[in-house]
Amino acid sequence: MHYRTDYCAAQLNEPPQTLDLGELRLHYQAYAQHSQDLRPPVLMLGGAFQSFRSFAAEVSELLEQHPVILLDLPSQGGNLQLVPQLTLEQLADLIADFAEELNLPPLMPIGLSYGSALAALFAARHPTRCARVLLAGITAFGRPGARLLLQEGLALLADGRNDAFAYGALTGLLNPLRLEQTGVAPVFRKALLRQIQRLSAADVERYRQNSQRLLDFQGFNQHPCCPTLVLAGEHDHFTQPWEHAHFAAACAQASCALIHNADHLAQFEQREACASLYNPFLRGETLPQRSLGSSLLPHPHLLQLEKRFEPRQPPNHRHARLQHRDGGEWTVEVSELGFFGGLLQADLPTIRGTRGWQLLCKDLPAQPLLPLRQDANGLAFVFPHSDQHASQALESQFQLQQPLPTAACA
């Protein structure tokens, strides 16, 4: 590997280097302090809606001690190549092919969100090529509510309802009940919403293929055996803290750090807290139980985190109506209500589909909902937050609710 030694943030906007592996094309940029640096390089793997530019601060911080490679696999970041035939596992194997082709020493991937799944699979499937791995926003993508929301997002895009998709996706990435704690500025939230609303047809197709890969993924049948650090935003609703902790517990040498006052975009919202863990972990140092803006979860407690993300209480007006767009309507009693979902009781027929449902509660606009589970306890549901007006009205109602417990999860 020949590294560039003249890094500045503006170069992340330049055309990347490319590596062709058969019909597949990989994009990358590689930087170090020495052009022939033989130390294990840090490999940055981003999530949806991220590009090389997203990592300007991380590259600057990491370059003092490590070579840094930014990699876009097909359909990731700025790489527009579509690969609907490839599974998540096959994309992770491409990282190993990349390392072999360029004769790289064992890598140290930092995987964020979608990139965390690829980094974790690479580490698990190619242990000799991975020295250590750092993951943020990791999940096995098995939680029914998360899968349901991904499926609804794809359905909205298929219907051409890009604005509805964008608002639901934004609510998953940035917990609106925690904006004061996470410090997300309104201007950033609006900019991210506009970015998602303005996805091109090619971007939508890439997102669709990547999301379908997550939905098709059957889960990890093996976990990383190298030193592993998992970072969980304490208010992350999309990939919840208990899921991070369970993943860490399944790894051979893992620690799980809770990033305080952060949700799914922890590395952006609490950059200093995350950065203070990067270099010590990559150097192989023992991490302190508490550091700037974060705390390590005790290993014996990793499987004991609360799985309720938010407190759900009976609403002030429990009687409501459940409607379906095909014409059905039922009187229901809402026994639990939260910003992200709830539970209701009613004499309902067996529910076959998840789309087209609305909950009509007093003092609130009609709320689109997705039935999650129907059993003797009632009908559990999640809100997709695809109607901006309805979502904001619900948000206003819950802004004054009691604080969430530490590391609480749904």
pLDDT in 10s for each residue of the chain, 410 residues: 899 999 999 999 999 999 999 999 999 999 999 999 999 999 999 888 888 998 998 999 999 999 999 999 999 999 999 999 999 999 999 999 999 999 999 999 999 999 999 999 999 999 999 999 999 998 777 789 999 999 999 999 999 999 999 999 999 999 999 999 999 999 999 999 999 999 999 999 999 999 999 999 999 999 999 999 999 999 999 999 999 999 999 999 999 999 999 999 999 999 999 999 999 999 999 998 888 899 999 999 999 998 877 777 888 889 999 999 988 899 999 999 999 999 999 999 888 889 999 999 998 999 999 999 999 999 999 999 999 999 999 999 887 554 544 443 33
Q: How far apart, in whole angstroms, are the C-alpha atoms of residue 51 and residue 11?
A: 13
Q: In this structure, is residue 56 part of a structural domain?
A: yes
Backbone angles phi, psi at 377, to 5 degrees: -80, -15
Q: In this structure, is residue 337 part of a structural domain?
A: yes
Q: Could you tell me the residue range of the domain that residue 89 belongs to? A: 9-141+217-301
Tell me: do 121 and 43 sit in the same domain: yes
Q: In this structure, is residue 358 part of a structural domain?
A: yes
Of 268, 301, 334, which residue constitutes the final position of a domain? Answer: 301
Q: In this structure, is residue 269 part of a structural domain?
A: yes
Tell me: do 94 and 243 sit in the same domain: yes
Tell me: do 22 and 132 sit in the same domain: yes
CB-CB contact of 168 with 392 (8 Å): no
Q: In this structure, is residue 169 part of a structural domain?
A: no
CA proximity to 39, closest of 108, 124, 94: 108
Q: In this structure, is residue 266 part of a structural domain?
A: yes
User: The pTM is what?
Assistant: 0.93
Cα distances (angstroms) measured from residue 295 to each of 202, 212, 260: 40, 34, 8
Q: How far apart, in whole angstroms, are the C-alpha atoms of residue 241 and residue 307?
A: 9
CB-CB contact of 310 with 339 (8 Å): yes
Which CATH number does the domain housing residue 356 bear?
2.40.10.430
Of 236, 266, 301, which residue constitutes the final position of a domain? Answer: 301
CB-CB contact of 121 with 89 (8 Å): yes
Tell me: do 105 and 238 sit in the same domain: yes
User: What is the pLDDT, as a whole number, of residue 400?
Assistant: 55
Tell me: do 225 and 370 sit in the same domain: no
CB-CB contact of 352 with 338 (8 Å): no
Tell me: do 73 and 132 sit in the same domain: yes
Q: In this structure, is residue 391 part of a structural domain?
A: yes
Q: In this structure, is residue 99 part of a structural domain?
A: yes
The two three-digit tokens of residue 255, written as one number: 């620690």
User: What is the pLDDT, as a whole number, of residue 154?
Assistant: 97
Rounded to 5°, the CA angle 18-2-6 comes to 95
User: From the centroid of its chain, how far is CA 169?
Assistant: 11
Cα distances (angstroms) measured from residue 316 to each of 338, 364, 366, 370: 12, 12, 16, 22
User: What is the pLDDT, as a whole number, of residue 231?
Assistant: 97
Helix locations, 33-141, DSSP H: 56-62, 88-101, 114-125
Tell me: do 134 and 261 sit in the same domain: yes
Tell me: do 294 and 324 sit in the same domain: no
Tell me: do 128 and 274 sit in the same domain: yes
Task: Say how many C-beta atoms besides its own lie within 10 A of residue 393's C-beta.
Answer: 16
**How many structural domains comprise the chain?**
2
The two three-digit tokens of residue 287, written as one number: 């991490």
Of 301, 331, 346, which residue constitutes the final position of a domain? Answer: 301
Tell me: do 376 and 248 sit in the same domain: no
Which CATH number does the domain housing residue 278 bear?
3.40.50.1820
Tell me: do 268 and 353 sit in the same domain: no
Tell me: do 236 and 381 sit in the same domain: no
User: What is the pLDDT, as a whole number, of residue 397?
Assistant: 87
| SS3 assignment, position 138 | coil
387 burial type by CB count under 10 A (0-12 exposed, 13-18 middle, 19+ buried):
buried
